[in-house]
Amino acid sequence: MKLCTVWSAEGCDEEGVPVRDEGSVSYSAAIESAAMRDTDETCSAFARRVEREARRRGVDRPKRRAVLGDGAPWTWNIAGEYFPDAIQVVDRFHAQAHLSGVARVIYGATSALGDAWAKARHDELDAGKLHKVLAALAGPITARAPKPPGAMRDESASVISG
């Protein structure tokens, strides 16, 4: 299943963080693939539906736009095709899943040390300390990581940092 939601966030909370405007969300969902080949002349039906709903909702009006996704390459391909100036953000759930995946690769699937490392990264992410998460991904764990986990670490850092 593929799901697209479009909403506005004109207001901010007391800390200045944008907050979704009440009643502004619209949904479009379908059971279909978003996949397409590089040689395809047109985008997938899902990608076209995302673009159509975003345009209907006035995606061109705000100065800043963001695309929230799970980190899958196809998500960013759609975002880049239809909303090239939008900020690309991995949602919290999937960012934490990517970090847990890094911990499993580095420390092993059943490692208490890996669980502790992942929890520390989740807590940093929740606290808005992205610089600490990125430092942990690029830091001393590199020396302990067996090959090829560096590739996964680099991919996760890219997904998390955008």
Q: Give the mean model confidence (pLDDT) for residues 125-145.
A: 81
pLDDT of residue 17: 84
Contact 50, 71 (CB under 8 A): no
Q: Which of 20-24, 36-40, 97-101, 141-145 has the lowest average pLDDT?
A: 141-145
150 — pLDDT class (breaks 50, 70, 90): low
First to last CA, the chain: 24
pTM above 0.85, yes or no: no
The larger pLDDT score, comparing residue 158 to residue 118, is at 118
The rounded distance, in Å, linking the Cα atoms of 106 and 111 is 9
The larger pLDDT score, comparing residue 24 to residue 145, is at 24
Using CB atoms within 10 A of its CB, is residue 66 exposed (0-12), middle (13-18) or buried (19+)?
middle
User: Is residue 131's pLDDT more than 80?
Assistant: yes
Backbone φ and ψ for 42, nearest 5 degrees, come out as -125, 160
Sequence spans of domains, the chain: 2-90, 92-161
- Tell me the per-residue pLDDT of 31-90, one tens digit each, with 9 for 90 and over: 888 877 777 788 888 889 999 999 999 998 888 899 999 998 888 888 998 999 999 999
pLDDT of residue 83: 92
CB contact set of 99 (below 8 Å; sequence gap of 6+): 118, 121, 122, 125, 133, 156, 160
